[in-house]
Structure 1
Amino acid sequence: MAAVAVSFALVVWLASSVTHTNGTQRTYYTVKRGDFLISVVEGGTLRALNEFSIRSEVETMTKIISIVPEGSSVRKGDLLVQLDSSQIKESMDSQEITLESSRFALLQAEQALAIQKSLVESNIKDAELRIEFARSDLEKYIKGDWLQLKNDSESRITLADQDLERTRDRLEWTKVLHQKGYATKSELQADSLALKQKEVALSQAKEAQQLLIKYDYPKKRRLLEANLESYEKELERLKQRSAGQIAQSEAELAARRRTLALQQERYDELKKQMALCTIRAPSDGLVVYSSSTSGSYSSILIEEGTSIRYRQEIIKLPDVNQMVIEIRVHESHITRIRPGQTSYVTIDSMPESRLKGHVHKVAVLPDASSRYYNPTLKVYATEVLIDDPLPTELKPGVSGRAEVVITNLHNVVAVPIQAVTSVKGEQVCFGKEAKPIPVEIGLYNDKFIEIRSGLKEDDNVLLAPLLAESDEIDLSGSIVPGTEYEADRKSTGKKRKPVTKGAAIQNKSVVPRPPTPLQALQQPLKDLRRAARPLEPPLAALRQSAVRGAPGAPTGHATNTVISTGRTSVQSP
């Protein structure tokens, strides 16, 4: 839009280089050869290249106790904001008590685990000792006591048998003596009784041996083996029971440790929140309150005593040492803009100074916000970084202009850009006799366009196309010229319907021609007129009422409408 406005404003400046004719009041321009700069000039807003957003990281609502005055220049580490930390301090005191309780509970759990392990170790040793004694008793009985009992039994049987033989021999001898009269009958009877006693003693000894082998030995051995087995099973049960008790104690200890860790983490978080109540500058910059840049009526005023929520922006801290100007380049120029191109920036509040810079960034897609009021407008956000030292009084947000230098043409033929128009798809200029002169155009800026062939120095060309005198002039541009359409119709042998301007021939893929420089400059003005069309009826009514109310004012005459394009006012019929 700025380029269109400047091109219309050039009409007055070109008065020194034009020639007027008396009949039709046509304005001509004398073709010259010279140098001119190819550049793109757009207006924009200055902002910092690097900007820190200072937000409240305190997770609860808090209030601003103190804040650095807006507009102050701060250094890295300077105090910016002090938030209220009284509630956090109370929570920290309570949490510290809870933390100490958790530490004591952990100490108790550690001691309980140590005691449980010691007790288990003692019980297992006692059980193992009982098993050892039981195994020793079994071995002692089998290899010691049983053999001794068996030998004693066999000895008693042997002695009883020998006593029986002696008693039997004595009885035989007593019988012989009794027959010879040397022994009495009572002695015979006594020896007979002694023999029976010895026989009974031998029988008892043998019976005792049988009972010992058949019953006492197996019983005693099985009893000792059962004791050993019982002690071994008791040891297994003790180990399992002890393992469960130790696991329970370890789980209790782990729970206490986890509880202590959670309480410590909570205390550390409160400590961190306490530290976050003091906000310091992360870098050098200019203090700007967020309420000054939000642009919303519902924004909260940043001042001392204001309640601040979590993650709410408090301050913007732009680094004023490096700044860029954000401009929006029209789609007709964007293909010539590249990062790194030399640029010159002028600030509206300091028009006498010019700062050198370069293109820092070019958007890949058009800016969607610029199409809200005008859907056909396609502009690309572009950043120009200022390389020269910045004045100390320069602040972000001021308006300015950036001129992106494309190239500098030397000793070329050039005419004002409005002198070139399109006739049947060809670029032409109109000479003295109002006849179209085909020209080959080159580069252009918002003022002049290069003529590579078709014109020479000192030729005169019309500054405006003959809209009223020539019906062949095509300012909108046809996608398919008439000659191409006729050639296509004859080659196919079919009669086709005429194609209106701006429409493609059916069943044929046609690549649209790029807009001419004049069309590219006229399109924003057409878009502006289209956007202002709904306002024409109420404006006309206001003008008529104003004219009728003025004393001596004429009635029934049309008036011209003045359309503002930002920097230049352009009259439209």
Structure 2
Amino acid sequence: MSKKPIVIVTVIALAAGAILFGKRLRGDAVDLSDVPEFEAKRGNLVIDVLEGGNIHALESLEIKNEVRVNEGTKILEIIDEGYQVTPEDVEGKKVLVRLDASAIEETIVDHDVEFQQTESAYAEAKQGLEIQESESLSAVKLVKQGVRFALLDFQKFLGEKAAREVLQSLSLPYDTETIDTYETDATEQIVKSFDAGRLYTETDDPTADSPFTGDNQNSQASTVDFSVLLKSDRLGEGEAEQTIRRLQDEALVAKTELAVVEEAVEGAKRLRERNFITKQTLENEMVGLEKAKLAVQTKDTELSLFRDYEFPKEAEKMLSTYEEQLLDLIREKREAMASVAQSEARFRSAKRRYELQVKKRADLQAQVDSCVIYAQKPGLVAYGGGNDNYYSSRYYDAISQGASLKLGQPIITIPDMSRLGVDVDIHESHIKKIQLGQRAVIVADAVADKTLEGKVTKVAVLPDSNASRYNPSLKVYPSTIEIQGTHDFLKPGMTAKVKIIVNELADVLYIPVQAIFVEKDKHYVFVNDGAGFRRQAVKVGDHNDEFVEIVEGIDEGA
């Protein structure tokens, strides 16, 4: 029975195969005694990616220096590295690190003076705002009271019905409800006149869109013809109507008295003709007649003067007073809002400064508190940070008693030993094979006899920039493999090898990767067919670091 082809294996064999192939072409004699051979095998082939890395805790309590001082913070006391923090230490608040807080304490003393000044200014601004709000409210109430009183005077003079008719024709408020509406509308217009915290100037009209009269407008009282109310007899039961009635009554009485006197004079004349009375008596009667005529003329004049002059004058005067009170209300509200706005601005500024000082004080106190670091969770104490590297070691001083710390420098780390992982760098040639959740086999160098299970939990999207800093052609992707279960024999910082299982091929033909050589993008092996070695083209499949799958070209060895 003849043997099936045997494939050359090692790197030496590859070199020997190349020499053999060259000598065959030249017809030279070839010595095959030292060429190692490997029979192609069929079986299961695990495709994996092998990388080395360091074991670390996936979750850790990292305590950093939070004290902000220019000269650095000195470590006064620190627990020994490797100390095992117990639950009793946590409960008893055992001190792990004590830092020098003297610089921050001096800063707090200096800050107290500034804080007290700011606090006093804040209290003063707050009180000033409350006083201004109260004064403004009182002033507006007083002016609004003047508006109501002016309206009542106008209604009292004209009568409520006539006053309402006049005010409605001028679009002015005519009762308490419409005064409130006027005030609300004016307030809205004043609020709109604020521009970036600024009130309109006195030349602007804050109620331009108001249904009522705005500030800085001419009085409408002079445009009203109050005589129409007299001609059409539309006056209500007001003082004007009462005055007219009184004057009319007085004129009527004077005319009645005149008629009586005239009749008496006529009788006196007849008596004088008969010499029943003296001439003087008649003259006296005539004087009484003239007085009665004068009284009638006076009363008629008084009535005319009131109708033609006094009534429209008083009506216009009262209406003008009412209009002015309405304008005073707008002005007072505007001034009140401006004053309150200024007080509010001062208050907000003082409050903001006070809040900043309170925050600064709390921050300084927090820095003082951070100078004493207590046990917070059980675990193993490690100096520095959980992700310390070459660059951080050059930037930070080593952790020890008396060392000076920079702001943010990790002081101690207490890893969570229940969740450990291995950080590895995946070469760019393998990164497409790696996926989250893939199974991995881990072997720690310190306990090489123990095999651990794990899985891929993190794969970087971008290559590590630090790795390519000194070798730009090197592209590796930081990845994390979580170790399944808890293992007391593992410690952070241990080195380990990780095999990430990317594929498991069943019943395939495979040979060592060293047996393959490439020429013009084609793969070849050297086969011993019994008569000698010959070059054989093959088609390869997937591979790991040791073996490669042969899809076609050779058969399984006998």
Instruction: Identify the TM-score tier after normalising by the shorter chain.
Output: 0.5 to 0.7
Q: Distance in 2 between matches of 1:412 and 1:188?
A: 170
Q: Would you say the 8 A contact 2:516–2:523 is kept in 1?
A: no
Alignment of 1:124-523 (within 5 A): 124-125=144-145, 128-129=148-149, 132=152, 135-136=155-156, 141-177=239-275, 189-190=279-280, 193-194=283-284, 196-216=286-306, 218-248=308-338, 250-251=340-341, 254-255=344-345, 257-259=347-349, 261-262=351-352, 263-264=354-355, 266-279=357-370, 286-290=381-385, 293-295=389-391, 297-302=394-399, 311=408, 313-315=410-412, 318-364=415-461, 367=464, 369-371=466-468, 376-377=473-474, 379-392=476-489, 394-396=491-493, 398-406=494-502, 414-422=510-518, 425-431=522-528, 433-451=532-550, 454-457=554-557
Q: Distance in 2 between matches of 1:9 and 1:270?
A: 74
TM-score relative to the length of structure 2? 0.63
SS in structure 2 at match of 1:159: helix
Structure 2 partner of 1:474 = none
Q: Does 1:114 align with 2:214?
A: no
The one-letter amino acid of 2:108's match is K
Q: Distance in 1 between matches of 2:63 and 2:431?
A: 35
Q: What's the CA shift for 1:402?
A: 1.6
Q: Would you say the 8 A contact 1:57–1:310 is kept in 2?
A: yes
The one-letter amino acid of 2:53's match is G
Structure 1 partner of 2:119 = 99
Q: Distance in 2 between matches of 1:162 and 1:48?
A: 129
Q: Would you say the 8 A contact 1:42–1:329 is kept in 2?
A: yes
Q: What's the CA shift for 1:23?
A: 4.2
Q: Distance in 2 between matches of 1:197 and 1:391?
A: 142
Could you say if the C-alpha distance between residues 222 and 64 of structure 1 is closer, same or farther in structure 2, counting changes exceeding 3 Å?
A: farther
Moved more, 431-440 or 282-291: 282-291
Could you say if the C-alpha distance between residues 204 and 55 of structure 1 is closer, same or farther in structure 2, counting changes exceeding 3 Å?
A: same
Q: Would you say the 8 A contact 1:441–1:449 is kept in 2?
A: yes
* Higher relative contact order structure (alpha carbons within 8 Å, sequence separation ≥ 6): 2
Could you say if the C-alpha distance between residues 124 and 421 of structure 1 is closer, same or farther in structure 2, counting changes exceeding 3 Å?
A: closer
The one-letter amino acid of 1:128's match is R
Q: Would you say the 8 A contact 2:396–2:409 is kept in 1?
A: no
TM-score relative to the length of structure 1? 0.61
Q: Distance in 2 between matches of 1:340 and 1:135?
A: 90
Q: Would you say the 8 A contact 1:168–1:195 is kept in 2?
A: no
SS in structure 1 at match of 2:448: strand
Could you say if the C-alpha distance between residues 164 and 34 of structure 1 is closer, same or farther in structure 2, counting changes exceeding 3 Å?
A: closer
Alignment of 1:17-96 (within 5 A): 23=31, 25-31=33-39, 33=41, 38=46, 39-51=48-60, 54-57=63-66, 61=70, 63-64=73-74, 66=76, 68-69=78-79, 70-74=81-85, 84=101, 85-87=104-106, 89-90=108-109, 91=111, 94-95=114-115
Q: Distance in 2 between matches of 1:306 and 1:354?
A: 40
Q: Distance in 2 between matches of 1:378 and 1:322?
A: 28
Q: Distance in 1 between matches of 2:296 and 2:303?
A: 11
SS in structure 1 at match of 2:451: strand
Q: What's the CA shift for 1:86?
A: 1.1
Q: Distance in 2 between matches of 1:236 and 1:426?
A: 103
Structure with larger Rg: 1
Could you say if the C-alpha distance between residues 113 and 81 of structure 1 is closer, same or farther in structure 2, counting changes exceeding 3 Å?
A: farther
Q: Distance in 2 between matches of 1:284 and 1:401?
A: 29
Q: What's the CA shift for 1:271?
A: 1.7
Q: Distance in 2 between matches of 1:26 and 1:134?
A: 132
Could you say if the C-alpha distance between residues 27 and 388 of structure 1 is closer, same or farther in structure 2, counting changes exceeding 3 Å?
A: farther
The one-letter amino acid of 1:389's match is T
Q: Would you say the 8 A contact 1:32–1:415 is kept in 2?
A: yes
Could you say if the C-alpha distance between residues 269 and 304 of structure 1 is closer, same or farther in structure 2, counting changes exceeding 3 Å?
A: farther
The one-letter amino acid of 1:107's match is Q
Q: Would you say the 8 A contact 1:427–1:438 is kept in 2?
A: yes
Q: What's the CA shift for 1:267?
A: 0.9
Structure 2 partner of 1:566 = none
Q: What's the CA shift for 1:106?
A: 1.8
Structure 2 residue runs of 5 or longer lacking an equivalent are 1-8, 15-28, 159-236
Could you say if the C-alpha distance between residues 436 and 51 of structure 1 is closer, same or farther in structure 2, counting changes exceeding 3 Å?
A: same
The one-letter amino acid of 2:326's match is E
Structure 2 partner of 1:521 = none
Q: Would you say the 8 A contact 2:516–2:524 is kept in 1?
A: yes
Could you say if the C-alpha distance between residues 303 and 118 of structure 1 is closer, same or farther in structure 2, counting changes exceeding 3 Å?
A: farther
Q: What's the CA shift for 1:352?
A: 3.7
The one-letter amino acid of 2:73's match is K
Q: Would you say the 8 A contact 1:42–1:403 is kept in 2?
A: yes
Q: Distance in 2 between matches of 1:255 and 1:117?
A: 18
Q: What's the CA shift for 1:325?
A: 2.3
Q: What's the CA shift for 1:108?
A: 4.6
The CA deviation string for residues 460-495 of structure 1, in whole angstroms up to 9 with x for no partner, is xxxxxxxxxxxxxxxxxxxxxxxxxxxxxxxxxxxx
SS in structure 1 at match of 2:557: coil
Structure 1 partner of 2:22 = none
Q: Would you say the 8 A contact 1:82–1:277 is kept in 2?
A: no
Q: Distance in 2 between matches of 1:23 and 1:123?
A: 124
SS in structure 2 at match of 1:27: coil
Q: Distance in 1 between matches of 2:388 and 2:462?
A: 30
Alignment of 1:522-541 (within 5 A): none
Q: Percent identity?
A: 21
Q: Distance in 2 between matches of 1:337 and 1:92?
A: 59
Q: Distance in 1 between matches of 2:280 and 2:464?
A: 146
Q: Would you say the 8 A contact 1:134–1:227 is kept in 2?
A: no
Could you say if the C-alpha distance between residues 200 and 56 of structure 1 is closer, same or farther in structure 2, counting changes exceeding 3 Å?
A: same
Q: Would you say the 8 A contact 2:524–2:535 is kept in 1?
A: no
Could you say if the C-alpha distance between residues 10 and 65 of structure 1 is closer, same or farther in structure 2, counting changes exceeding 3 Å?
A: farther
Q: Distance in 2 between matches of 1:441 and 1:243?
A: 92
Q: Distance in 2 between matches of 1:159 and 1:247?
A: 64
SS in structure 1 at match of 2:492: coil
Q: Would you say the 8 A contact 2:51–2:426 is kept in 1?
A: yes
The CA deviation string for residues 80-126 of structure 1, in whole angstroms up to 9 with x for no partner, is 65563414633357425632552354235324433443454345436
Could you say if the C-alpha distance between residues 441 and 125 of structure 1 is closer, same or farther in structure 2, counting changes exceeding 3 Å?
A: closer
Q: What's the CA shift for 1:159?
A: 2.4
Q: What's the CA shift for 1:384?
A: 2.5
Q: RMSD value over aligned CA atoms? A: 4.4
